[in-house]
Structures are given as C-alpha cells and as structure tokens.
C-alpha cells in the first residue's frame, strides 16, 4: 500500500511540476498574450479594448500558473491555436489511434524478441543468436523516420513500423537478461537433474528474470510513444504523434505542452504499473 502511495505521489508531483514547467514555457514563448482576433478589421475599438482586457488577466505570472493548473486539473487543456478546437477533444479523437498502434507494436516487438531469444537459448544455436543480433543491430542504426518512409514506399502496413522500432531495443535487453539468467548455477543444476527444456525455461530462467522484464515493459511503452511521432507523421496515421508534429510545425504550444504532459502521465503510469508488478514478483523470485 505504501509503495502504491509512493508511485501515486510521484505521478502527482510530476504532473504538478510538469504543469508549472509547461505554463512557464507558454508564458515565455514569443507571441504570448497576442490574439489574432485583434486583426479582424470588423472589430471596433471598444471590442479590441475588451479583447486586450481579457488577455491582461493572464499577464501576471502567478495568476497564470494557478489558472493554468486549475484548468488542467478540471480537464480543460485549452484551445489549439492552429486547429481551433479544444485540446481535450483532439486528444479524445487521436489517443485511441495511437493506443492501437502502440499496443500492436508492443505485442509484436515483444513476441518477436522472445521468440528469437528463446529459440537461441533452447536450440543453443549461435546462428539464431547471430541472426537476431545482426537484425536488431541493423534496425538500431535506422532512424524511425527512414523506416517509416521505406514502409510507405514499399506499401507495407504502416503499423508494423512501430513494432520494428520496439523490437531491437527490447531484443537486446531480453537477450542479455535471459542469457545471464540461463548461466546461473541453479539452471545448470536443473539441467543436470534432467528437467525438461520447457520447464527450465519457464521456472528457472524466465521467472527469476520477470521483475527486470516487467521494468523493461514500462520502458518500451515510452519508447513506442516517442517513436509514434515520426511514424504517424510520415505514414499519415491520425494519432497523437501526428498531432504533435503538426503542432510543432504550427508552433501550437498549448497543444504541444499538453500533449507532452499527457504522454508523460501515460509513461509514468506504465512505468509505475510495471514496477509494482515487478515488486510483486520479487519475493517469490528470491
């Protein structure tokens, strides 16, 4: 219970500090406090004065912080300057698309990594290990954006790109973890006693490595979400990655800061969940 509280407190603190950081970025950004509406020639002096009066309420830094945080805690993330729509509405629209891509990529990336590592371990074949290492090494040298363009050019399913970005990073850690776990004395003992390969793999290699594998699971969520920007932008997938790219090109800071905050919270939740699960595994692993 204490651990759960610690994780929740950490997330809340990050949101609070991130909110302040975000508000500072918005406050110091060029163009703050200027409304394009003022350029509307149909507005008379009185209306323009009223508009400026509205902007004046946010010029005090402290007031701005509290207003920004207050609005954020009430779910009001402001209005996108480029798209002229509420940020929360845009997020509701785009998040499911990214969630779908990220989930699929994580499932595929992890499955491919596990399949290759387990195959190499069980068959004790250096060629399988070399194949996995060469493929992952090659993929690590390719920027996500290049991989996306190559997929678009070859008309391959765009969602697979994210899986190929997750795979090499996960593969390297899973390989090293399971190789270390497999070289432990208790595994040799189990092999000497004549236990089956499947049983050794499940209970003597995978189980002790479970906490670290779960921690890696949390990290891979962050990895997939970050890679979603170039992939969705270049493969034309309407997710939050594409939204972030459009916001960056249009210097839509309200949208960008809020997107970063939302992705940070998702990342923290994933990391906390994997850490908590990992801690649950630890006593039995020891």
Of 257, 263, 256, the C-alpha closest to 228 is 263
Q: Closest separation between CB of residue 29 and other proteins, Å?
A: 5
Out of 166, 263, 275, 278, the only residue in the binding site for other proteins (CB under 8 A) is 263
**Candidates 12-20, 90-98, 178-186, 187-195 — which segment interacts with other proteins by CB under 8 A?**
12-20
Of 248, 270, 261, the C-alpha closest to 72 is 261
**Candidates 57-65, 180-188, 202-210, 239-247 — which segment interacts with other proteins by CB under 8 A?**
239-247
Task: Report how far Cα 194 is from the mean position of its chain's Cα atoms.
Answer: 43
Decide if residue 103 touches other proteins (CB under 8 A): no
Q: How many CA atoms lie within 13 A of 164 on its CB side?
A: 21
**Which two three-digit tokens encode residue 80?**
């996108």
Interface characters, 106-125, with other proteins (x: CB under 8 A) = --------------------
Q: Closest separation between CB of residue 171 and other proteins, Å?
A: 14
Q: Closest separation between CB of residue 38 and other proteins, Å?
A: 21
Decide if residue 32 touches other proteins (CB under 8 A): no
Out of 51, 69, 135, 142, the only residue in the binding site for other proteins (CB under 8 A) is 142
Decide if residue 264 touches other proteins (CB under 8 A): yes
Q: Are 220 and 106 in contact (CB under 8 A)?
A: yes
Out of 1, 39, 62, 141, the only residue in the binding site for other proteins (CB under 8 A) is 141
Decide if residue 244 touches other proteins (CB under 8 A): yes
| Residue whose entry in the numeric block shows the structure tokens 């406050």 | 27
**CA–CA gap between residue 258 and residue 87 (Å, rounded):** 8
Nearer to other proteins, 201 or 261 (CB): 261
**CA–CA gap between residue 269 and residue 220 (Å, rounded):** 13
Alpha helices in the chain (DSSP H): 2-28, 45-56, 61-73, 87-123, 126-140, 144-153, 159-182, 185-192, 197-199, 207-235, 240-249, 253-285
Q: Are 258 and 266 in contact (CB under 8 A)?
A: no
**CA–CA gap between residue 174 and residue 185 (Å, rounded):** 19
Out of 79, 99, 122, 145, the only residue in the binding site for other proteins (CB under 8 A) is 145
Q: How many CA atoms lie within 13 A of 174 on its CB side?
A: 29
**CA–CA gap between residue 275 and residue 217 (Å, rounded):** 9
**Candidates 81-89, 91-99, 179-187, 266-274 — which segment interacts with other proteins by CB under 8 A?**
266-274
**Candidates 23-31, 44-52, 62-70, 192-200 — which segment interacts with other proteins by CB under 8 A?**
23-31
Decide if residue 138 touches other proteins (CB under 8 A): yes
Contact residues toward other proteins (CB under 8 A) are: 13-14, 17-18, 25, 29-30, 137-138, 140-146, 149-150, 153-154, 222, 225-227, 229-230, 233-234, 244-245, 247-249, 251-253, 256-257, 259-260, 263-264, 267-268, 271
């Amino acid at each position: 219970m204490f651990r759960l509280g610690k994780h929740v407190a950490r997330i809340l603190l990050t949101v609070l500090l991130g909110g302040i950081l975000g508000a500072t970025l918005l406050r110091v950004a060029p163009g703050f406090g200027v409304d394009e509406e003022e350029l509307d020639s149909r507005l008379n002096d009185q209306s323009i004065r009223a508009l400026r009066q509205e902007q004046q309420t946010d010029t005090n830094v402290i007031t701005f912080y509290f207003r920004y945080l207050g609005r954020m805690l009430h779910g009001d993330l402001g209005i996108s300057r480029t798209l002229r729509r509420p940020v929360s509405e845009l997020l509701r629209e785009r998040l499911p698309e990214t969630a779908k891509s990220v989930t699929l990529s994580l499932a595929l990336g992890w499955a491919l990594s596990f399949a290759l590592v387990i195959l190499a371990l069980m068959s004790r074949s250096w060629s399988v290990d070399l194949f996995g290492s060469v493929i992952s090494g090659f993929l690590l040298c390719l920027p996500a954006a290049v991989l996306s363009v190559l997929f678009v050019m070859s008309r391959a399913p765009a969602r697979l790109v994210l899986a190929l970005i997750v795979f090499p990073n996960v593969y390297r850690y899973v390989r090293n973890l399971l190789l270390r776990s497999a070289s432990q004395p208790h595994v040799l003992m189990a092999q000497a006693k004549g236990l089956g390969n499947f049983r050794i793999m499940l209970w003597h290699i995978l189980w002790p490595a479970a906490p670290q594998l779960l921690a890696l699971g949390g990290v891979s969520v962050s990895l997939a979400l970050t890679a979603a920007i170039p992939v969705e932008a270049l493969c034309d997938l309407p997710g939050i990655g594409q939204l972030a790219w459009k916001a960056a090109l249009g210097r839509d800071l309200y949208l960008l800061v809020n997107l970063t905050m939302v992705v940070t919270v998702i990342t923290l939740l994933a990391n906390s969940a994997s850490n908590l699960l990992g801690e649950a595994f630890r006593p039995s692993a020891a």
